[in-house]
Amino acid sequence: MKNPITWGYASLRERGLTRTLSSAVSFIDNWWFDLRYGTDTAAVVQTPLLDIPAQVKALAHEYRASKAAPMRKLLEAAELPENKVFLDMGCGKGKALMIAADYGCQKLIGVEYSPTLCERARDNLQARLKNRPEVAFEVVQGDAAEYEFRDDENVIYFYNPFAAPIARSVLRSLERSLQRVPRQVWLLYYVCEFRESFDECPFLELKAAPVFGGCEHLIFINRCYLPRVNTA
């Protein structure tokens, strides 16, 4: 763990007061989440340490937990439907799935390549949802680029999990699913490093790009369905 004083001085010089304070609050919030719920999500896992094939590492990103406060604001802004099936592409240790459970998502699916992260996600979800038998969850170990969407999945979340080639493969799979079973879907993208893959996707339309916690978030929906989105 970095020395907080050294980190603080360096961050103030490089990023300024506002972003430094935002990062500090997020750091504390990550650890507080784990202390509160008895989970293990906060610690970063750098890409070289992930137990995935070398060719996949070239397109993967390190594991970082979704930040709870910005994600909650994102879920509120998206105005999701009543019957929500929440899918996290690159779910890591499962934090986003746990947060989604608090917003009426009673079916949670995570896709993660790393077997170690999959096991950690299952343990975390079991601990967080032990008193909520109405919430079903599943963590699928496998390559997101090869995932075939299920007919009821309608909320798809990305926390910058992988590079553009994998994102494009995921979007092609989603398009096949929508052709097979037309339905309304929401794509929520947090830390939008490769947004061009989504912007250029012909069946998606950007509904909002709110900024929460100092970071832009994107809310897409398929073009056949264009409900109102609250960006206040």
**pLDDT tens digit string along 88-100?**
999 999 999 999 9
The answer, yes or no, to whether residue 151 has pLDDT greater than 70, is: yes
CATH no., domain 68-222: 3.40.50.150
Cβ contacts of 80 within 8 Å, gap of 6 or more: 103, 104, 105, 155, 186
What mean pLDDT value characterizes the chain?
87
Closest of 199, 208, 200, 156 to residue 177, by C-alpha: 156
**Domain ranges across the chain:** 4-44, 68-222
Closest of 179, 189, 190, 193 to residue 215, by C-alpha: 190
**What are the CA-CA distances from residue 70 to residues 19, 55, 132, 174 (Å)?**
14, 32, 24, 25
Buried b (16+ CB within 10 A) or exposed e, 111-123: bbbbebbbebbbb
Contact of 56 with 113, CB cutoff 8 Å:
yes
**pLDDT tens digit string along 41-90?**
988 999 999 999 998 888 888 898 998 888 999 999 999 988 899 999 99
Alpha carbons within 13 A on the beta-carbon side of 123: 13
Closest of 93, 5, 96, 8 to residue 44, by C-alpha: 93
Alpha carbon distance 218, 100 (integer Å): 17
Alpha carbon distance 215, 206 (integer Å): 17
- Count the Cβ atoms, other than its own, within 10 Å of residue 220: 24
Q: How confident is the model at residue 171 (pLDDT cuts 50, 70, 90)?
A: very high
